[in-house]
Structure 1
Amino acid sequence: MAPANPYAPLLDAIPVERREVAIGGGVTAYWVYGPADAATTVVAVHGFRGEHHGLEPVVAHLPDVRVISPDLPGFGETPPLPGVRHDLDAYAGWLTEFAAAVAPGAVILGHSFGSIVVSAAVAGGLDTPRVVLVNPIGAPALEGPRGLLTRLAVFYYWAGARLPKRLGDALLRNGLIVRVMSESMAKTKDPGLRTFIHDQHDTYFSRFADRDVLHDAFLASVSHDVREFAPRIAQPTLLVAAVRDDITPIEAERRLATMFPSAELVEIADVGHLIHYETPAPAAQAIRRFLAPSAPGTR
């Protein structure tokens, strides 16, 4: 039996519809949450190895916002883009095309690796009035407080791509390794919430299409960070950062905020890289305030 989802009562009250759209020569699966006549629409981009389910706890706390949440190409229910390497340019181009087709002019939100994809796309010309980055990757992953673990991850994904297919695939989908990843990221002491988080990772962290896409996306995630694009993002930007994030230290997030022409940093205490699972309510509160019609720069 799956553990209880602490956000299910809120989420169950929000209408949701699965849809598909032809993008980049392939088909992108996406989910539309909230009222069709909502004043604000947000396109929400999930992180590495995740899929749209991971952002649902935040969606649950934004019942009056229309949230459009796609699965990245090669993850969840979206097949890989045909005939391309899944590097950052490919993902940024896909997002630009997706937003224009499904929700032109929507606010764009990205979590973790999604923060890099969103930043690259917006800096490259994606039209949006505002940008929200949750757990933004604001420094090179190899230089973070867990740089050694990141280097081990580099070897892990390299081995998964180089071993014979059956062995490589088994390594990349290994449940014990997924659990170690989950344990290393979770900060909450609440046993029920930890169980829920681990179940989410057990269920969705291995729903990638194949090892080549996974390796490409991993290289994109550790070869880039939001700093590259921040100076070119003119739109008002909200950074929702974790004080205990092991991937980007809070000091680096504070420096990152100064690199944008117009950015606000909200720090959430006692949480790490899983704001979307552990503290979705304060994250949603910050997002709601940032999106309010009276907020500077709103259109």
Structure 2
Amino acid sequence: METVELSVGTIEYEDTGGPGPVIVFLHGLTMDGTLWRHVVADLRDDYRCILPTWPLGGHRIPMKPAADLSLSSLAVLIGEFVERLGLTQVTLAQNDWGGAQVLIANGDTSRIDRMIITASEAFENYPPPPARPIAVLARIPGGLFLTMQAMRLRAMRRSPRAWGGMSKRAVPTEVMDGWFRPATENAQVRRDLRKYVTSVPDRVTLRTWAAASAGYQGPALVVWGTEDRVMPIEHGRRLAELFPRAELVELADCYTLIPEDCPRELTSAIRGFLSSP
């Protein structure tokens, strides 16, 4: 893993190298870049794939104690990350976390040429159902610690009310161990996670940020699962209508974690999207 210093602290990232074109992949709460491992394995020979571990609870290096880790700050941080690495003409791909839309509303997208939005938070769906208990318990002393200790148990992870409702096929145990270990073992990582999950603004603000997607002029690929109950298919369709230059792909037999459930179909859609003029 490589590292880069940003205003909030040290960010780890994987870079497959190569001349590009560049795709920056974003993950969701208490995850890391391994979410995209199947997709990247197929794309890495033709694209430069960059996978930062965003400070959403799956990060191993705590951020600065005074860092602003609110939703809007972490979204704007995407632009800082891209600029610090000297990247241009970037394709930004996200899953689960809705940072790209918030970046459009509040940050600099001048280095972002294309967007790939796969089933993720949108409109007022922040946080989505699996993360809502975390947001509530994070406000109670010791609540987040107990929640993360419970995530050591496979039965808790695979509960339909938790991460089990996000993928139709079980995420391998060793992958989920890597996702949950930092916030389970490190109090400073839990501090960072608490800052984020307690920062979500009111629904009016969230809808305003989503509406800003209409101002993004680059091509956008929106990929959603028709069976997804965490990120409703209606949100994918609404987002596709908002973006002026959007292509919508609907996939069956998958939930939110499309890179886990349908990596072949997702990769095919990405290749088709990136090869178009």
Equivalent residue for 2:4, pick from 15, 18, 21: 21
Partner of 1:163: 141
2:109 pairs with 1:111: no
CA distance in 2, matches of 1:153, 1:43: 24
CA distances 1:162-187 after superposition (whole Å, capped 9, x unpaired) = 223xx641322312333322322232
Aligned 8 A contact 1:84 1:90 in 2: no
TM-fit CA distance, 1:218? 2.7
The equivalent residue for 2:121 is 137
- Written as runs of structure 1 = structure 2, the 5 A alignment for 1:210-225 is 210-219=189-198, 224=206
The whole-number CA distance in structure 1 between the counterparts of 2:138 and 2:157 is 14
Task: Give the equivalent residue in structure 2 for 1:11.
Answer: none
Q: Which runs of 5+ in 2 are unaligned?
A: none
Residue 84 of structure 1 pairs with residue 63 of structure 2: no
Cα deviation for residue 153 of structure 1 reads 4.6
Q: Matched residues in 2 for 1:271 and 1:48: separation? A: 19
Are residues 1:204 and 2:176 paired?
A: no
Q: How far apart, in 2, do the equivalents of 1:187 and 1:95 lie?
A: 29
Structure 1's 156 and 42: CA in aligned 2 closer, same or farther, altered over 3 A? closer
Are the structure 2 counterparts of residues 122 and 81 from structure 1 closer, same or farther at C-alpha, using a change threshold of 3 Å?
Answer: farther
What secondary structure is seen at the aligned counterpart in 2 of 1:284?
helix
Q: Is the 8 A contact 1:111 1:136 kept in 2?
A: yes
The 8 Å contact of residues 25 and 94 in structure 2, kept in 1 or not, is answered as yes
Letter in 2 for 1:91: L
The Cα shift of 1:222 comes to 8.2
Q: Distance in 2 between matches of 1:264 and 1:277?
A: 21
Once the two structures are TM-superposed, the CA of residue 69 in structure 1 deviates from its matched residue by 0.6
Q: CA deviation at 1:142?
A: 7.2
Q: What is the CA–CA distance in structure 2 between the aligned matches of 1:37 and 1:179, rounded to whole Å?
A: 39
Q: TM-score, normalised on structure 1?
A: 0.77
Structure 1 counterpart SS, 2:247: strand
Q: 1:168 to 1:109 in 2, by over 3 A?
A: closer
Amino acid at match of 2:146: A
Tell me the SS of whatever aligns to 1:28.
strand
The answer as to whether partners of 2:4 and 2:11 remain within 8 angstroms in 1 is yes
CA apart distance, 1:214: 1.7
Pairs within 5 Å for 1:1-299: 18-33=1-16, 35-38=17-20, 40-63=21-44, 64-73=46-55, 75-102=58-85, 103-113=87-97, 116-123=98-105, 124-127=107-110, 128-141=112-125, 150=129, 153-164=131-142, 168-174=144-150, 175-176=152-153, 177-180=156-159, 181-188=162-169, 194=170, 196-208=171-183, 209-219=188-198, 224=206, 227-292=210-275, 295-296=276-277
Change (3 A) 1:57 1:215: same
Residue 84 of structure 1 deviates from its aligned partner by 2.6
Kept in 1: contact 2:167–2:258 (CA 8 A): no
Identity %: 24
Change over 3 Å in CA distance of 1:83–1:228 after alignment to 2: farther
Q: Distance in 2 between matches of 1:138 and 1:160?
A: 22
| Contact 2:18/2:47 (<8 A) preserved | no
Say whether the 8 Å CA contact 1:50–1:205 is kept in structure 2: yes
Q: TM-score, normalised by structure 2?
A: 0.83
* CA 1:78–1:95: 2 relative to 1, 3 Å: farther
| Alpha carbons of structure 1 residues 216 and 36: separation in structure 2 relative to 1, 3 Å | same
Q: Output the CA distance in 2 between the equivalents of 1:268 and 1:221.
A: 29
Q: 1:206 to 1:179 in 2, by over 3 A?
A: farther
Q: 1:8-56 CA distances to partner (integer Å, 9 max, x unpaired)?
A: xxxxxxxxxx2111111521111002x5133x11111111111111111
Deviations 1:148-170 (A, max 9, x none): xx2x8534433244223xx6413
Specify the SS of the correspondent of 1:133.
strand
Alignment RMSD (CA, Å)? 2.6
